[in-house]
């Protein structure tokens, strides 16, 4: 199974979700069965590392933080099983990039996997213009979403 998390520039939210999911898969003994990566809807930060605040928050919580930003390309849909958007804006962009109904069916919002999320508020907020507390909130939301996503992955890969 292959999963790609997608946010705007691939330096804050999606790399954080990627690292959380990698850890969840390792804890569940599924890292060999599920490949996880991330990308951005735009190319602004392509080649850059994750935002230093994201790195600090991830490391403080015990997660890995190695990352190089890249842009999502529509041809990736063919090799991916799930494309996880971090907010509804990303979801709209990805749906425009999807060339078939089958590709569009692979797109989900991360918080849709969080049983504690309010159905009317499924966005993971962009922490880029704020302080480190915003990144801590993003991590909390990513953890909750990834916990639910892990349950879905377990049901699909056994």
Residue 12 bears catalytic tag: no
Rounded-to-integer distance, Cα 128 and Cα 112, Å: 22
- The residue among 158, 56, 75 whose CA lies nearest residue 39 is 75
Point out the catalytic residue in the list 48, 81, 126, 147: 126
Point out the catalytic residue in the list 7, 12, 142, 146: 7
Point out the catalytic residue in the list 12, 13, 51, 142: 13
- The residue among 95, 125, 131 whose CA lies nearest residue 110 is 125
Residue 13 bears catalytic tag: yes
Rounded-to-integer distance, Cα 80 and Cα 77, Å: 5
Residue 126 bears catalytic tag: yes
Q: So which residues are the catalytic ones?
A: 7, 13, 126
């Amino acid at each position: 199974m292959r999963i790609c998390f997608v946010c705007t520039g691939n330096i804050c939210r999606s790399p954080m979700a990627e690292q959380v999911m990698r850890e969840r898969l390792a804890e569940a003994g599924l890292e060999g069965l599920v490949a996880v990566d991330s990308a951005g809807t735009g190319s602004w930060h392509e080649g850059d590392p994750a935002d230093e605040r994201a790195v600090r928050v991830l490391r403080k919580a015990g997660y890995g933080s190695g990352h190089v930003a890249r842009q999502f390309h529509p041809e990736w849909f063919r090799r991916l099983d799930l494309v996880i958007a971090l907010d509804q804006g990303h979801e709209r962009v990805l749906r425009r990039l999807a060339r078939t109904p089958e590709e569009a069916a692979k797109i989900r919002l991360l918080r849709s996997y969080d049983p504690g999320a309010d159905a009317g508020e499924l966005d993971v907020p962009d922490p880029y213009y704020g302080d480190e507390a915003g990144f801590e909130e993003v991590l909390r939301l990513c953890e909750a979403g990834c916990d639910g996503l892990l349950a879905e992955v377990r049901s699909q890969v056994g």
